[in-house]
């Protein structure tokens, strides 16, 4: 018997912002209009993380986990052991959902949606604070904007910019083969230093001359991730999807 998608709706939302209950009925996520983000600990192996993602796809689409296959193909070298993940569902005539995966500090973030191609990034705030990343991350406009912020708020902004740019570069399928400084992202609205009451700024791609998609098709959603981490999910599609956050493992 296939797993049911019920766990998604049965789980509590972990609080705004960055979380929303799916707008579908009580027994199913409206996957064409929702991006589901599942957060948890990494498995012991990469294959274990992929198995968690395949199980999540099965739950959300109502199929047996055995019928879900994940494949990878590097768009640069053609190898099948790295690159963006793709889903196929045996025996299904519908379009398979898009997926993305990120790890940081032993944590795992999975994204699944039928709204369009998706990219997710998760980062450890401690790792970001240790690494001198601003020189390789910020466009001139972002450097100017951050210079006006207090150090703590600037730290949160750097985490937001990093995860946003990596999520965009993942949804574009190019990763860090593109220089993140080629993109300028604006952070609108409230942004505070990391902490239990942190608020997350809205993100907008304001400039990327080589962007493969029109700006209006790109939707950037900040994700309320575990303490000590930051996360953003990017979707390319006609409509801005709802965000639903849930645990990666359902006990």
- Alpha-carbon distance of 48 to 96, in angstroms, equals 21
CB nearer to ligand COA: pick between 65 and 174: 174
CB of 177 to ligand COA, least distance (A): 5
Which of 38, 58, 102, 233 touches ligand COA by CB under 6 A? 102
Q: How far apart are CA 126 and CA 124, in angstroms?
A: 5
Only one of the segments 7-15, 16-24, 58-66, 77-85 lies at the binding site for ligand COA (rule: CB under 6 A); that segment is 77-85
- Applying CB under 6 A, does 85 fall inside the site for ligand COA? yes
101 binds ligand COA, rule: CB under 6 A: yes
Contacts of 130 (CB under 8 A, 6+ apart): none
84 binds ligand COA (CB under 6 A): yes
Tokens 């190019």, located at residue: 174
**86 part of the interface to ligand COA, by CB under 6 A:** no
Q: How far apart are CA 96 and CA 114, in angstroms?
A: 7
Of 101 and 183, which CB lies nearer to ligand COA in the complex structure? 101
107 binds ligand COA (CB under 6 A): no
Closest distance between ligand COA and the C-beta of residue 107, in Å? 10
Q: At what angle do helices 140-147 and 151-171 cross, to 10 degrees?
A: 150
Written as one string, the DSSP assignment of 18-77 is S----SS-TT---GGGEEEEEEEE--SSHHHHHHHHHHHHHHHHTS-GGGEEEEE--TTT
Contacting residues toward ligand COA, per CB under 6 A: 46, 49, 72, 74, 76-77, 82-85, 101-103, 119, 121, 166, 170, 173-177
């Amino acid at each position: 018997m296939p797993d049911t998608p019920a766990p998604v709706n049965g789980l509590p939302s972990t609080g705004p912002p960055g979380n929303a209950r799916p707008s579908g009925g009580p027994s199913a996520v409206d996957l064409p209009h929702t991006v589901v983000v599942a957060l948890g600990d990494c498995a012991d192996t990469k294959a274990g993380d992929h198995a968690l993602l395949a199980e999540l796809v099965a739950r959300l689409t109502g199929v047996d986990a055995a019928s879900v296959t994940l494949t990878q193909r590097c768009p640069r070298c053609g190898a099948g052991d790295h690159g963006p993940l793709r889903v196929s569902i045996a025996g299904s005539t519908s379009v398979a959902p898009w997926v993305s995966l990120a790890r940081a500090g032993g944590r795992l973030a999975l994204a699944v949606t039928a709204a369009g191609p998706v990219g997710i990034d998760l980062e450890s705030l401690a790792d970001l604070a240790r690494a001198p990343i601003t020189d390789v991350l910020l466009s001139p406009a972002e450097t100017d904007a951050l210079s006006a912020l207090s150090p703590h708020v600037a730290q949160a902004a750097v985490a937001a910019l990093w995860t946003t740019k990596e999520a965009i570069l993942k949804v574009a399928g190019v990763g860090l083969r593109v220089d993140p400084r080629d993109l300028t992202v604006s952070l609108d609205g409230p942004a505070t230093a990391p902490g239990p009451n942190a608020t997350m700024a809205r993100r907008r791609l304001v400039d990327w001359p080589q962007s493969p998609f029109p700006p209006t098709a790109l939707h950037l959603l900040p994700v309320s991730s575990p303490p000590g981490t930051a996360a953003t999910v990017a979707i390319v599609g006609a409509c801005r999807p709802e965000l639903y956050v849930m645990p990666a493992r359902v006990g």
